[in-house]
Amino acid sequence: MKKRILITGGAGFIGSHVVKLFVEKYPEYSIVNLDALTYAGNLENLKEVEGAPNYQFEKVDIQDAEALDAVFSKHKITDVIHLAAESHVDRSISDPLAFVKTNVIGTVNLLNAAKKAWGEELDQHLFYHVSTDEVYGSLHDGGFFLETTPYDPQSPYSASKAASDHFVRAYANTYKMKTVISNCSNNYGPNHFPEKLIPLCINNIKNMRPLPVYGKGENVRDWLFVKDHARAIDTVFHKGKPGETYNIGGFNEWKNIDIVRLLCKKMDEKLGREPGTSEQLITFVKDRAGHDLRYAIDATKIQKELSWEPSLQFEEGIDLTIDWYLQNQDWLDHVTSGSYQDYYREHYES
Ligand code: NAD
Ligand code: TYD
């Protein structure tokens, strides 16, 4: 059966890299990108594939169950890779309900649409849910997140993603839907919306604006280049065992303050500034409420069982990322105009 894959959230940061990888690598598949184009969705992320014969776009909100049914029947969808979500922890703290609506209800709507469309042949189709390591909570005493680590979400964002993961597993158990889940650590790279730490700092360093570091900057994240995550999603989609979970990570832990300093150093070099110029922009600000201390992934299972591993060293990926932002001023101008200004003022200046 020819694969006609529905990728949700394909106009966002990670989704756009997944769409581009699938459209370019698998001309024999049909790829349907479904996205509501919220503040985080941007068709400019997909310029490379917009005219491709195996690519189509549907502007649909996953909160709209009827519209989802229509997309499944119009495109005879055979498989789903689900990335659409509200994704920013800070926004989840000020508006948790938006995260319930999209991440929980939206995911259940999508599961229902798939179940209805695939009927008696559920075992011939795959529902792949893309999730986060934040569902495991916060590490305080060393150690790593394993696939068997109990869920312990701490923010409204991670609680909503944990709920959606549980629903996917419940559909596998109850209705025998063929599902797979991956939980990945923090991504960085081109097309990352500048509300998240790395692109926000790149944009602010460029414009000589303050770099807001929450608390003391001691919190630790594991970082993975977005194209390596897209490669992992390709691997799990094609080789993952149904019913399984795969942790995806970069084997690359950094304290926030060290990342911000690295960005300052590299951008001083690239912009021809005196060494130390950008570091003066670092500003310690009020900590995030309930700020998770450390995320660290043990990605041995995907490495051993599916032969995936990150291809880029962090400093190499950071160079590529900074260069992309410096070369794509139009993209930055578009995404930082309008509502971004309001968000920034409300979150950082009030
Ligand atoms: P993003 O915020 O950049 O993009 C989300 C996309 O989903 C946008 O294109 C947006 O328009 C779309 N969307 C939002 N609400 C929608 C709705 N109701 N209906 C349809 N489309 C909607 O997010 P991202 O960083 O690309 O993350 C993608 C997925 O990967 C999410 O599920 C996220 O939880 C997961 N994830 C992200 C990271 C990370 O570091 N960014 C790490 C692990 C997992
Ligand atoms: P973020 O990029 O929002 O990802 P997540 O919260 O999903 O890990 O934040 C990464 C880390 O950077 C996190 O510990 C919070 C911190 N941070 C700041 O210190 N300042 C900021 O302005 C932002 C957005 C994040």
- Nearest atom in ligand 2 to 348's CA: 22
Residues with C-beta less than 6 Å from any ligand 2 atom: 89, 186, 196-197, 200, 212-214, 219, 221, 256, 288
**Which residue CA neighbors atom 1 of ligand 2 most closely?**
196
The 10 Å Cβ neighbour count of residue 329 is 10
Question: Using CA atoms, how far apart are residues 102 and 92, in angstroms rounded to an integer?
Answer: 11
Question: Using CA atoms, how far apart are residues 286 and 325, in angstroms rounded to an integer?
Answer: 27
CATH number at residue 137: 3.40.50.720
Predicted pLDDT of residue 138: 97
Name the phi and psi angles at 311, rounded to 5: -100, -20
For the chain, the domain total comes to: 1
Has residue 320 been placed in a domain?
no
- Full DSSP string of 132-162: EGGGG----SS--B-TTSPP---SHHHHHHH
Burial of 61 (0-12, 13-18, 19+ CB in 10 A): middle
- Full DSSP string of 99-112: HIIIIIIIHHHHHH
Structure tokens at 127: 């529902």
Has residue 90 been placed in a domain?
yes
Has residue 104 been placed in a domain?
yes
On the CB side of 179, how many CA atoms lie within 13 Å of its CA?
A: 26
When pLDDT is averaged across residues 108-122 and rounded to a whole number, the result is: 97
348 carries an active-site annotation: no
Predicted pLDDT of residue 1: 81
Has residue 289 been placed in a domain?
no
* Boundaries of domain holding 137: 4-192+223-252+296-313
Q: Residue 141 — very low, low, confident or very high, per pLDDT cuts 50/70/90? A: confident
Has residue 100 been placed in a domain?
yes
- Nearest atom in ligand 2 to 201's CA: 22
Mean pLDDT over the full length of the chain: 97
Ligand 1 contact via 12 beta carbon (within 6 Å): yes
134 carries an active-site annotation: yes
- The residue type found at 179 is T
Q: Residue 99 — very low, low, confident or very high, per pLDDT cuts 50/70/90? A: very high
Ligand nearest to the CA of 128: 1
Number of residues in the chain: 350
Residue 338 pLDDT > 90: no
39 carries an active-site annotation: no
Could you tell me the pTM of the whole model?
0.98
Ligand 1: which of 87, 181, 185, 227 to mutate, most ligand atoms within 8 Å of CB? 87
Task: Tell me the pLDDT tens digit for each residue of 157-185.
Answer: 999 999 999 999 999 999 999 999 999 99
Question: Using CA atoms, how far apart are residues 198 and 195, in angstroms rounded to an integer?
Answer: 9
**Which residue CA neighbors atom 4 of ligand 2 most closely?**
196
Question: Using CA atoms, how far apart are residues 308 and 318, in angstroms rounded to an integer?
Answer: 21
Task: Tell me the pLDDT tens digit for each residue of 223-253.
Answer: 999 999 999 999 999 999 999 999 999 999 9
Ligand 1 contact via 100 beta carbon (within 6 Å): no
Return the ∠ at Cα 125 (arms to 237 and 166), rounded to 5°: 70
Do the beta carbons of residue 113 and residue 63 sit within 8 Å?
no
Has residue 36 been placed in a domain?
yes
Return the ∠ at Cα 197 (arms to 196 and 203), rounded to 5°: 90
Name the phi and psi angles at 208, rounded to 5: 55, 45
Has residue 76 been placed in a domain?
yes
Burial of 174 (0-12, 13-18, 19+ CB in 10 A): exposed
What is residue 315's three-state secondary structure? helix
Question: Using CA atoms, how far apart are residues 82 and 71, in angstroms rounded to an integer?
Answer: 14
